[in-house]
Chain A
Amino acid sequence: MRIAALALLVCPAGLLGQASPPAHTSASPDFAGVWRRSRRAPDNKRQYTVAELVQPLGDPPPMTAWGQARFNAAKPNIGPRSVPFAESNDPTTQCLPPGIPRLYTVMLGAPFELLQVPGRIIMFFENNHYVRQIFIDGRPHSDDTGPTYLGDAIGKWEGTTLVVDTVGFNDKTWLDTFGHPHSDALHLVERFQRAKNDVLTDDISINDPKAYTKPWLSHMIFDHEPGWNIQELVCEDNLNFKDLQKLSESHK
């Protein structure tokens, strides 16, 4: 593994923006580009039901008592337990970072750009320009990690699969819009693969024994959007939308 990491340092994957990107080795497939959680017209690969749109991670495993208590305290603005916007404690309605994996789905599935640079893979999210660094230089997790919103991410190539291991989260974010919680013991393992039709898949294992009785396994599909640039999307820019929501929910 150490040798593989060194090989990656010597032969880095292409850095976006270079006039002539270096050749990719079989150990470092090209994942670079702008990706967005698939919402295209349904076809065989991309067919979403209402339930999947609203709950992209699927049904969670049973919660622990701690997890259930946190879930009960969550007041989502979407889904079967919806409360009015003004009463919701969804962190994203306060423009707080959505965390991982919710950054993949919130804001209508705002895209991210995946950049491959020596020793790192960088996810540059449109949403508030959050940056997620995935270190692929062979380092272990930091001893002094977190608690953070995006966690401490290290990765490695297993053939053509990018395996990303993330710990060091705080417990301030929700995993989905329904208010499913996680603790600071959250451990994400993601397996990214570039499939046919310019699709990036992510098999996510959400491991959080403090909140759930077993791992929550999810599968996410991202579409390549070659004509897109990451734009500015500052959540705090127009907080007037909160007043508008309150007005539309007010009792006349």
Chain B
Amino acid sequence: MKDIEGVSMRSRPLVLAFALVGVLLSSAPVFAHHGAVAYDMKKVTTLQGTVSEFRYTNPHSEIYFDVVDANGKTQKWVAEAVSVPAMSRSGWTKNSLKPGDKVSVTGNVAKNGTFTMRFASLTFPDGRKLTYERAEDYAQ
């Protein structure tokens, strides 16, 4: 509990922590049954937030989370994930996330500036990480 508070306090002034990992791909990756043209696949971003809803469903699960910006205003974010079978084979369950969970969410944000993201992974304050196989992770 103390850890959670600690992370929360530390993350507050950071709010938007951008982690530029670099160019992953030069062409559009396979993304389930639709493309990733909306998202900036050249940049990976990590956001500190609080889960508001977890929709564990097909064909794409969705993770809703709140991020407090530098002005103290809450941004309503949603990260698009993949199908239930694909996530369950990587250890996810319907109970993996619950409202109020503090998480660091990593993914590719939309190019148009909306608070939407293509999910890659998330980390809990205790260091536990949830992710899954993404097609482009195997792209060489």
Contacts and interface: CB of A to CB of B under 8 A. Distances in A.
B48 interface: no
Given A39-B133, A85-B38, A237 B114 contact: no
A125 B16 CA distance: 41
A53 B83 CA distance: 18
A78 B35 contact: yes
Which of B61, B80, B86 lies at the interface centre, i.e. has the most chain A CB atoms within 10 A of its CB?
A: B86
Contacts of A90: 33-34
Nearest to A241: B60
Given A78-B37, A237-B59, A238-B59, 6 more contacts: A50-B25, A53-B30, A78-B35, A88-B34, A233-B85, A247-B114
A251 B86 CA distance: 31
Chain B interface, >50% SS class = loop
Interface residues of A, number: 51
Given A234-B58, A252-B114, A93 B34 contact: yes
Contacts of A177: 30, 35
B23 interface: no
A251 B113 CA distance: 9
Is chain A's interface secondary structure helix, strand, loop, or mixed overall?
A: loop
Interface residues of B, number: 41
B59 A252 contact: no
A108 B140 contact: no
Interface in B36-55: 37-39, 55
Interface in A202-252: 228, 231-235, 237-238, 240-241, 244-245, 247-252
Interface in A69-89: 76-80, 82-85, 88
Nearest to A234: B58
A42 interface: yes
Contacts of A80: 27-28
